[in-house]
Structure 1
Amino acid sequence: KAEVMNVDQLLPAHAQWQNFSEVLLHSPMLRYIGNSLFISLIVVAFQLISSAMLTYAMVFMKFRGRKLLFAIVMGTYMLPTAATYIPSYIILAHMGLLDSYTGLIISDAVNIFGIFLLRTAFMQVPQGLIEAARIDGAGHWKVLWRIVTPMTKSAYITFGLISFITMYNSYMWPSLVTNNKELSMVSQGLRSFFIEGGAYGTEWPKVMAASAVIVVPLLILFAFTQKWFINGIGGDTGIKG
């Protein structure tokens, strides 16, 4: 602990690799990591599908009140996240979904930032390409997933990566919805397993080792997606003048 609190020393005098084995083999940290990966992947999938469908409707479908719908959707983005906790908690309680994976997933199935990001990308798709696909008999579903989505792949990956990291590191909302330790995500598990004893009872070496372990999945994910993440929403649209 003395080395952890010493701001003048960057590296420890003696590496204590046994802390990693303690975290991996003698603590529920792997379960917490598994919970976070499972929930985050499903939430990202739901968010990608819901955001893509709503964005497609607002960009490529003509109907009355389209701009008003977009204004309302984006207006909800200005709401503080904490302001939605109580109504969301009450809704989940009435549905009997508290303390469950289903409640966590459903409550995060829509992402307003994702709608804004995908709308920016969809608006760069040439309207002529969409009209040509419709003339050839393609329906809205086929146009979305066979034409628009491949052309805006970078936006999907960027949104998916940001959403995954946000959900993976989420603490406050999962702590309110779930009480079962078996369902805890990494942030909850790290706090409950190592820090609940108070500052003087905290095993700081194990906390630091666990913190390093839970970052590994994020580093691996970014290593495989950094190309598209850096590219953002740019790319060839397939139309040549």
Structure 2
Amino acid sequence: MMLRLRATSSLIAKYGLLIILSLIMFFPFLWMVISALKTKDEIWSFPPTWWPSDPQFSNFLSAWDLAPFGQYIFNSVFTAVVIVLIIVVNSAMIAYAFTQFRFKGRNTLFAIILGTYMLPVAATYVPSYVVLADLGLLDSFTGIIISNAVSVFGIFLLRQAFLQVPRDVVDAAKVDGANHWWILWRIFLPLTKPSFVTLGLISFVQMYNNYLWPSLLIKSEEKMLITQGVQQFFMEEGGYGLQWPLIMAASTFVILPLLLLFLFAQKWFVSGITDSGVKG
């Protein structure tokens, strides 16, 4: 009886802690949505009001009409999706080469690739900018896509997942006459699908939220990404810095695509992190 009581108490304590931590993590988003429904006076009131007396749902329409957020979101989603597709394909091929091919200097080459992951990203901006300028790719989606087309993290993640695939399965496929391309996409992909989804989700969020590098490349307003659009919305004419309800409304529908993406992909995302990466 005592053991059962202790187990129940421990379980309640764990779930209670998880609930508290979840509320802490969710509170900034909740406060952002509520603030988008307030008037400017209610945001600056002290003590702060929890819920507006007259919710201003029109703030969302006003924020959407004051800037081309639809174009900004499309630009970010388009570039992020293309980058993710390229990253997944080349990371899978490189990881496959490191796990299935035997060649001299394989481990040394992999160590060098991992070593570049420790290089600060900002340190690569100047040489990357010069290269893109020489290629005439400044102020273009192509420049953003090419400059983000390789992920060291993706190579490492998929390599670790591929190492968990039973060697007997690969050997059996080779005996049946399968080539490397078929083995990669018909055997490794289905068996390590959670790792692929995890890589795609993390890469998409990273590219969607990228600000500093696109702000150096993109100058045309019609090509700006959502991070640049929100910053411009905040600073335009020096007035929106005081229009916090509109800023909160803009921030809400900017974050919404990421929340929907995680909502649909959370099963695979959690599985890719907690499991060994191989589907049983």
| Among 209, 213, 217, the residue aligned to 1:173 | 213
1:91 aligned partner? 131
Cα deviations by residue, 1:124-154 (Å, 9 ceiling, x for unpaired): 1011111111111111111101100111000
Question: CA separation in 2, counterparts of 1:72 and 1:11?
Answer: 54
Question: CA separation in 1, counterparts of 2:169 and 2:42?
Answer: 62
Q: How does 1:90-129 map to 2 (within 5 A)?
A: 90-129=130-169
Question: CA separation in 2, counterparts of 1:79 and 1:5?
Answer: 43
RMSD: 1.7
**Contact (CA 8 Å) 2:234, 2:240: kept in 1 or not?**
no
* 2:43 alignment partner AA: V
| Among 19, 23, 38, the residue aligned to 2:59 | 19
| Among 133, 154, 161, the residue aligned to 2:194 | 154
* TM superposition shift of 1:11: 2.8
For 2:126, what is the secondary structure of its paired residue?
Answer: helix
Question: Max radius of gyration: which structure?
Answer: 2
Cα deviations by residue, 1:194-232 (Å, 9 ceiling, x for unpaired): 324447754221110010001111111111111111111
Question: CA separation in 1, counterparts of 2:254 and 2:52?
Answer: 21
1:3 aligned partner? 42
Unaligned runs of 5+ in 2: 1-39
Percent of aligned pairs with the same amino acid: 51
Normalising by structure 2, what TM-score? 0.81
Aligned CA distance change for structure 1 residues 63 and 12 (closer, same or farther; 3 Å)? same
Question: CA separation in 1, counterparts of 2:212 and 2:105?
Answer: 35
Cα deviations by residue, 1:57-88 (Å, 9 ceiling, x for unpaired): 01111111110111011000000110111111
* TM superposition shift of 1:26: 4.1
Normalising by structure 1, what TM-score? 0.93
Q: After alignment, is 111-120 or 225-234 more displaced?
A: 225-234
Higher helix share: 2
**Contact (CA 8 Å) 1:126, 1:237: kept in 2 or not?**
no
* TM superposition shift of 1:15: 1.2
**Contact (CA 8 Å) 2:161, 2:278: kept in 1 or not?**
no
Cα deviations by residue, 1:18-73 (Å, 9 ceiling, x for unpaired): 11112234420111011111111001001001100111001111111110111011
**Contact (CA 8 Å) 1:23, 1:210: kept in 2 or not?**
yes
* TM superposition shift of 1:236: 5.5
* TM superposition shift of 1:168: 0.5
| Among 109, 112, 115, the residue aligned to 1:69 | 109
**Contact (CA 8 Å) 1:195, 1:202: kept in 2 or not?**
no
Q: How does 1:206-225 map to 2 (within 5 A)?
A: 206-225=246-265
1:191 aligned partner? 231
